[in-house]
Amino acid sequence: MDLSMKRFVSLAVAALIVGCGGGADDTGGEAADDAAGAGETAGPVVNPDSAGTITGVVSFEGTPPAPEPIDMAEEPTCAEKYTEPPVKEAAVVSDGNLANVYVYVKEGLPDLDFPAPSEGVTLDQTGCHYVPHVLAIQVGQPLVIKNSDGILHNINTQPSQNRGFNISQPVEMETEREFSTAEVMIPVKCDVHGWMEAYIGVQDHPYAAISGTDGTFSLENLPAGDYVIEAWHESFGTQTQNVTVGAQETQEITFTFSGEMAGLPVPLGEPLVLHADHAGVK
């Protein structure tokens, strides 16, 4: 069921790309040529002239669930960093906008090879909280794990398609790791402080963003084309939209989540399917 749906969607997308005529194909071709031609000089994979932007906002309807308070009494080092009582970030809503939504290009990108940026993305542990709470990273890009608290944290990543690691940081220090496979999403937890949670989205391309407290996000320098954009939230699940973006064009889209979506199953990576006959069961 799942598989056939996916196949249908990708077929449809492929049909759209072809149907749209030369535009998308050309862009893809050019970009691919760029990438190939760039070689070791590492020029841009995507020509900015033929690229567009998707921006938007994630809004929230209805009453968000009340933030769950965190009892940090056992960890005074962290507790004293707060002036307001600390709360969980399972649903951060302000003025009807939802933060911490992972928005990314799920389908539609031409077959390009995006080199991993050498600059790392930092996941900080401060006040017994992960900052940021949701993080976007590329395959092979360094994940800089930082302990600013100076007390014991362990970083236990629990992916299903990458190999999970679980490492200790008992003092202020930094450690680097990377992921080898695209995955939405990789939960991160600290077993010492059970309330600490973060999510890492891994793509083999740079088109992923996290909605800010104002709900906004932006996917820039996207080759003109037709895309399936997905928005993922840890408490409210996923939504997708088909978006067509032209060269030097900016498409504005809106995702709307609501309190009624809480409790729905939130996908965390694709299950490992080893036997086709089990696909339907899983």
> What is the Cα–Cα distance from 255 to 105, expressed in whole angstroms?
14
CA 143 to centroid of chain Cα atoms: 14
- DSSP at 32: H
Query: Interface with another protein includes 76 (CB under 8 A)?
Result: no
- Binding part of the chain for another protein, among 11-19, 103-111, 207-215, 270-278 by CB under 8 A, reads 270-278
Query: Interface with another protein includes 114 (CB under 8 A)?
Result: no
Query: Interface with another protein includes 1 (CB under 8 A)?
Result: no
* Residue 271: CB minimum distance to another protein, A: 9
Cβ-based nearer residue to another protein, 186 or 222: 186
Cβ-based nearer residue to another protein, 1 or 274: 274
Residue reference for tokens 């990438």: 35
Mark residues 132-151: x for contact with another protein by CB under 8 A, - for none: -------------------x
* Residue 193: CB minimum distance to another protein, A: 7
Cβ-based nearer residue to another protein, 63 or 275: 275
Mark residues 149-188: x for contact with another protein by CB under 8 A, - for none: --xx-xxxxx-x--xxxxxxxxx-xxx-------------
DSSP string spanning 120-184? -EEEEEETTEEESSEEEEETT--EEEEE-S-S-EEEEE--SSSPP-EEEE-SSEEEEE--SS-EE
Neighbours of 245 (CB within 10 A): 23
Which residue type, as a one-letter code, is found at position 163?
A: R
Cβ-based nearer residue to another protein, 86 or 108: 86
Measured CA to CA in angstroms, residue 44 lies from 1, 2, 104, 222, 224 at distances of 39, 36, 20, 12, 15
Query: Interface with another protein includes 193 (CB under 8 A)?
Result: yes
For strand 225-233 and strand 237-245, is the pairing parallel, antiparallel, or unpaired? Answer: antiparallel
Cβ atoms of residues 240 and 253 within 8 Å:
no
Cβ-based nearer residue to another protein, 61 or 204: 204
In the chain, the largest separation of any two C-alpha atoms, in whole Å, equals: 62
Cβ-based nearer residue to another protein, 147 or 251: 147
With CB under 8 A as the contact rule, the residue among 48, 68, 214, 278 that binds another protein is 278
Query: Interface with another protein includes 10 (CB under 8 A)?
Result: no
Q: Interface with another protein by CB under 8 A: which residues?
A: 74, 151-152, 154-158, 160, 163-171, 173-175, 191-194, 272, 274-275, 278
